[in-house]
C-alpha cells in the first residue's frame, strides 16, 4: 500500500503559477491551482457534516420544521461564502409537492386463496401507500397476477405484459431486471432503469393496474427489508400528480420475500415461478389469489425548496456547470435503541459539506472560471429524487447551455484511496474528464464494483441524464493509502448497517481524508470544464446518447 504522501504530492503539482485572477491565459490545464485545492480542508468539511447531521435539524425531512431550519442554514452558508443567489435575487427554488399519509386499517391487506386466507402484518410483511390524493382506498377482491419483472422494454425484446389485461388487478413483480441473472440479456451485470422500483410502479400505472406489489430480495435490491421499512413507515412525498393521481395505481408497495412465497403457496403455485420469470418467453401467471385493500389516507400540499447559488463565469456566463447534493433525509421515525432521529450524516451531510468546500475552492482560484458554476442543494431525494426532478423539468439555467451535472451523494469516511469509481461507468464523456483530473492526484479509474445495484439511476444526477445533460456521480475506490489494516477494518465494520437508520450519525473516529480527496477531484473536474468551450456528451453505447445529441442539436 502507498502512504498518505499522495496528498502532498498532488499539491506540489499545482505550484505552476497563473498570471492574474482575470487572465484566462494564465490557466494551465495540466497543473493544479494549489490555493484552490488547499481551500478544501478537513476542518471545514467536518464542521459542516457535524452541523448538518446534528439533532438540531431533526433529520432534515421536507415539509417539517427541520426543512425550514435546513434551507435557511444553507442560504446563510452560501451568503457567507460570497456566492450570488442562483434564482434571480433569491437562493430558493420552490418545489411544490404533496405529502400523502397512509394509515392501514386493521387487517388492511388480506389475501384469499381457494381454500384458506392469509393475513399479513404491516411493516413486518409488507409496506403500502397510495400515490393518489384521496381520503380512502378500498379495493375489494382484486385478482393477483404474477407479471415477472413487470417490464416493457422493446429495445431488449422483453414484454412481461404482452397479451395481458391487468385493468383492475394487482400485479406482483420482482425487483431488478433479467440481466442480473442472464448475462446475455439487457446490459448483463449493469442494471438498467427497468430494474428500479420506481419504474415498476410507473409501468403498472401505464398498464391500468389497480395496484402493484414488488417482491423484496436483499441482493437484487441492494438493501435489506429494514431500509424498505424505514423508508415507507411515514408520510410519502411526490410532486403534485396530474388529476390528483387518478391515472395512477390505487396502491403500491412491497412484500417481503417470505410473504411472496406464502402467496404462491396460497394460490397452489410453486415459488420456482420466480426462476422461470427470469428467462425469455415467460408469460404472466394468474396467482389464484384475491386481495382486499383498506387504507385511510390524508394529504397536504405544500412547498419545500431547492437551495441554489452561483459564481458567474467571466467569459461565457450563460454556460453552466451544476454541482448538486441533496440536503434532505428521513426526519424522525421509529424509535431504535432510544433514538428516533435519522440524522443522515453520511447520507447526505457529507455531500452538502463537499458542495460548500468546493465553493470555497472556486472562490480561491487564481484564474476565475469562464463558465458559471452553480451550487444546487436539492430537496426530497430520499422520496424519489423529487427536487432534482423538479429542477430538470423547471430549469433555472438553460439545459442546452448546461455543460454537466456533478452530483455528490454519501461519501465514505473510512480513508483515502488510490483510485475512484464512476457510478455508471461507460455512460458519459465526463468519465474521461475524471480520468484526466484523477491523474493530477495520482488516482486512477477503478471498476465500478456493483453495477447490478443500479446506482446510476438512484441519485440526483439521473434527472439531468433524463433530459440529455451528462451527469457524473463518483466515489473512492481501489486500495487504501493508510497501512493500518486493523484500524481500517474497524472503521468499515462501524459503518456497516448504518444506511437509512438512526445510526447514521457523525462518529469521532471517522476519517475524512477520502471525502476531502474526492471533493478536490470533483472540484478539478468542474474547473477543467469551466475553462473549456466543449460540451461533453454521452458515450456511443449509452442508452441516453440520442437524448444528448438531440439536446446539443437544438
Quick one: which H or E segment has residue 274? helix 273-276
What's the mean pLDDT when you consider all of the chain?
93
Calculate ∠ Cα 139-143-147, nearest 5°. Answer: 120
The pLDDT of residue 17: 35
CB atoms within 10 A of CB 542: 18
Confidence label for 34 from pLDDT (cuts 50, 70 and 90): very high
Say yes or no to pLDDT of 151 above 80. Answer: yes
Q: Which residues of 356-373 are buried (b: 16+ CB within 10 A; e: fewer)?
A: bbbbbbbeebbbbbbbbb
CA distance 343 to 320: 32
The pLDDT of residue 450: 85
The pLDDT of residue 21: 39
Give the contacts of 23 (CB within 8 A, at least 6 positions apart): 367
- Kindly list the distances between the CA atom of residue 493 and the CA atoms of 223, 401, 480, 497, 501, in Å, as whole numbers in the listed order: 17, 44, 15, 9, 15
Give the contacts of 128 (CB within 8 A, at least 6 positions apart): 102, 104, 108, 109, 122, 232, 251, 252, 253, 293, 295
- Read off the pLDDT of residues 266-290 as tens digits, 9 standing for 90 and up: 999 987 899 999 999 999 999 999 9
Say yes or no to pLDDT of 333 above 90. Answer: no
The pLDDT of residue 361: 99
**Mean pLDDT, to the nearest integer, of 286-304?**
95
CA distance 504 to 498: 5
**Mean pLDDT, to the nearest integer, of 517-544?**
97
- Read off the pLDDT of residues 465-477 as tens digits, 9 standing for 90 and up: 999 999 999 999 9
Angle at which helices 513-530 and 5-12 cross, to 10°: 20
The pLDDT of residue 6: 34
- Read off the pLDDT of residues 345-398 as tens digits, 9 standing for 90 and up: 999 999 999 999 999 999 999 999 999 999 999 999 999 999 999 999 999 999
Confidence label for 14 from pLDDT (cuts 50, 70 and 90): very low
Give the contacts of 224 (CB within 8 A, at least 6 positions apart): 218
Closest CA to 367 of 129, 199, 201, 530: 530
Omega within 30 of 0 (cis) for the link into 348: yes
- Read off the pLDDT of residues 508-529 as tens digits, 9 standing for 90 and up: 889 999 999 999 999 999 999 9
Compare 168 and 107 and report the one with higher pLDDT: 168
Closest CA to 371 of 325, 324, 323: 323
In the chain, pLDDT over 70 holds for what percent of residues? 96
Confidence label for 20 from pLDDT (cuts 50, 70 and 90): very low
- Scanning 53-194, the segments in alpha helix (DSSP H) are 65-80
The pLDDT of residue 249: 98
Confidence label for 22 from pLDDT (cuts 50, 70 and 90): very low
The alpha carbon dihedral of 334, 254, 101, 223 has a sign of: positive
| Residue keyed to cell 391500468 | 208
Give the contacts of 305 (CB within 8 A, at least 6 positions apart): 67, 71, 92, 93, 94, 95, 379
- This prediction's pTM: 0.89
Q: What would the CATH number be for the domain defined by 99-299? A: 3.50.30.30
Listed by start position, the domains of the chain span 5-97+301-553, 99-299
**Mean pLDDT, to the nearest integer, of 102-128?**
91
Quick one: which H or E segment has residue 321? strand 316-326
CA distance 161 to 174: 13
The pLDDT of residue 105: 81
CB atoms within 10 A of CB 152: 16
Burial class of 223 by CB neighbour count within 10 A (0 to 12, 13 to 18, 19+): middle
Closest CA to 377 of 415, 348, 334, 338: 348
Say yes or no to pLDDT of 427 above 80. Answer: yes
Confidence label for 490 from pLDDT (cuts 50, 70 and 90): confident
Say yes or no to pLDDT of 163 above 70. Answer: yes
The pLDDT of residue 554: 77
DSSP 292: E
Q: Is-contact 96 301, C-beta < 8 A? A: yes
- Give the domain 5-97+301-553 fold: Aminopeptidase (3.40.630)
Report strand pairing: 285-311 vs 84-85.
antiparallel
Q: Is-contact 302 37, C-beta < 8 A? A: no
- Scanning 374-425, the segments in alpha helix (DSSP H) are 386-393
- Kindly list the distances between the CA atom of residue 60 and the CA atoms of 237, 348, 388, 504, 535, in Å, as whole numbers in the listed order: 14, 10, 17, 13, 35
Tally of CA atoms within 13 A in the half-sphere of 207 that contains its CB: 27
C-alpha cell at 380: 426530497
Confidence label for 8 from pLDDT (cuts 50, 70 and 90): very low
**Mean pLDDT, to the nearest integer, of 186-205?**
95
The pLDDT of residue 231: 87
Closest CA to 227 of 251, 248, 200, 256: 256
**Mean pLDDT, to the nearest integer, of 417-446?**
98
Closest CA to 247 of 132, 100, 383, 98: 132
The pLDDT of residue 296: 93
DSSP 241: P
Amino acid at each position: 500500500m502507498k502512504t498518505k504522501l499522495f496528498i502532498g504530492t498532488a499539491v506540489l503539482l499545482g505550484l505552476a503559477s497563473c498570471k492574474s485572477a482575470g487572465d484566462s491565459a494564465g490557466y494551465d490545464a495540466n497543473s493544479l491551482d494549489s490555493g484552490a485545492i488547499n481551500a478544501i480542508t478537513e476542518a471545514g468539511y467536518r464542521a459542516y457534516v457535524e452541523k448538518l447531521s446534528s439533532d438540531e435539524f431533526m433529520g432534515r425531512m421536507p415539509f417539517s420544521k427541520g426543512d425550514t431550519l435546513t434551507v435557511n442554514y444553507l442560504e446563510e452558508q452560501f451568503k457567507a461564502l460570497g456566492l450570488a443567489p442562483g434564482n434571480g435575487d433569491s437562493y430558493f427554488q420552490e418545489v411544490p409537492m404533496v405529502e400523502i399519509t397512509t394509515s392501514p386499517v386493521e387487517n388492511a391487506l388480506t389475501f384469499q386463496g381457494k381454500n384458506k386466507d392469509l393475513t399479513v402484518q404491516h411493516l413486518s410483511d409488507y409496506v403500502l401507500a397510495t400515490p393518489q390524493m384521496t381520503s380512502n382506498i378500498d379495493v375489494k377482491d382484486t385478482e393477483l397476477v404474477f407479471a415477472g419483472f413487470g417490464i416493457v422494454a422493446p429495445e431488449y425484446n422483453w414484454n412481461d405484459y404482452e397479451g395481458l389485461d391487468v385493468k383492475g388487478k394487482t400485479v406482483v413483480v420482482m425487483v431488478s431486471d433479467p440481466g442480473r441473472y442472464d448475462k446475455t440479456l439487457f446490459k448483463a451485470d449493469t442494471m438498467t432503469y427497468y430494474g428500479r422500483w420506481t419504474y415498476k410502479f410507473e409501468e403498472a400505472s401505464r398498464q391500468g393496474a389497480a395496484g402493484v406489489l414488488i417482491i423484496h430480495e436483499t441482493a437484487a435490491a441492494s438493501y435489506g427489508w429494514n431500509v424498505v421499512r424505514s423508508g415507507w413507515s411515514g408520510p410519502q412525498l411526490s410532486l403534485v400528480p396530474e388529476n390528483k393521481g387518478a391515472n395512477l395505481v390505487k396502491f403500491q408497495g412491497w412484500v417481503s420475500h417470505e410473504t411472496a412465497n406464502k402467496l404462491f403457496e396460497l394460490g397452489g403455485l410453486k415459488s420456482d415461478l420466480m426462476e422461470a420469470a427470469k428467462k425469455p418467453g415467460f408469460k404472466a401467471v394468474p396467482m389464484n389469489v384475491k386481495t382486499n385493500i383498506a387504507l385511510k389516507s390524508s394529504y397536504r400540499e405544500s412547498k419545500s425548496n431547492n437551495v441554489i447559488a452561483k459564481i458567474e463565469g467571466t467569459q461565457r456566463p450563460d454556460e453552466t456547470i451544476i454541482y448538486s447534493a441533496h440536503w434532505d433525509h428521513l426526519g424522525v421515525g421509529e424509535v431504535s435503541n432510544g433514538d428516533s432521529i435519522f440524522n443522515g450524516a453520511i447520507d447526505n451531510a457529507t455531500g452538502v459539506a463537499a458542495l460548500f468546500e468546493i465553493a470555497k475552492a472556486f472562490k480561491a482560484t487564481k484564474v476565475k472560471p469562464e463558465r458559471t458554476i452553480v451550487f444546487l442543494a436539492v430537496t426530497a431525494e430520499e422520496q424519489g429524487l423529487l427536487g432534482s426532478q423538479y429542477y430538470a423539468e423547471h430549469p433555472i439555467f438553460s439545459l442546452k447551455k448546461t455543460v454537466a451535472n456533478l452530483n455528490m451523494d454519501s461519501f465514505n469516511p473510512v480513508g483515502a484511496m488510490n483510485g475512484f469509481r464512476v457510478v455508471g461507468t461507460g455512460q458519459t464523456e465526463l468519465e474521461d474528464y475524471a480520468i484526466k483530473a484523477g491523474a493530477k492526484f495520482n488516482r486512477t479509474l477503478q471498476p465500478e464494483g456493483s453495477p447490478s445495484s443500479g446506482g446510476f439511476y438512484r441519485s440526483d444526477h439521473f434527472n439531468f441524464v433524463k433530459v440529455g445533460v451528462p451527469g457524473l456521480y463518483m466515489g473512492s475506490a481501489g486500495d487504501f493509502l493508510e497501512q493500518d489494516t486493523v484500524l481500517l477494518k474497524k472503521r468499515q465494520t462501524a459503518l456497516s448497517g448504518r444506511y437509512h437508520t438512526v445510526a447514521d450519525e457523525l462518529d469521532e473516529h471517522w476519517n475524512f481524508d477520502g471525502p476531502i480527496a474526492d471533493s478536490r477531484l470533483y472540484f478539478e473536474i468542474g474547473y477543467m470544464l469551466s475553462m473549456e468551450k466543449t460540451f461533453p456528451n454521452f458515450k456511443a453505447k449509452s442508452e441516453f446518447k440520442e437524448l444528448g445529441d438531440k439536446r446539443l442539436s437544438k
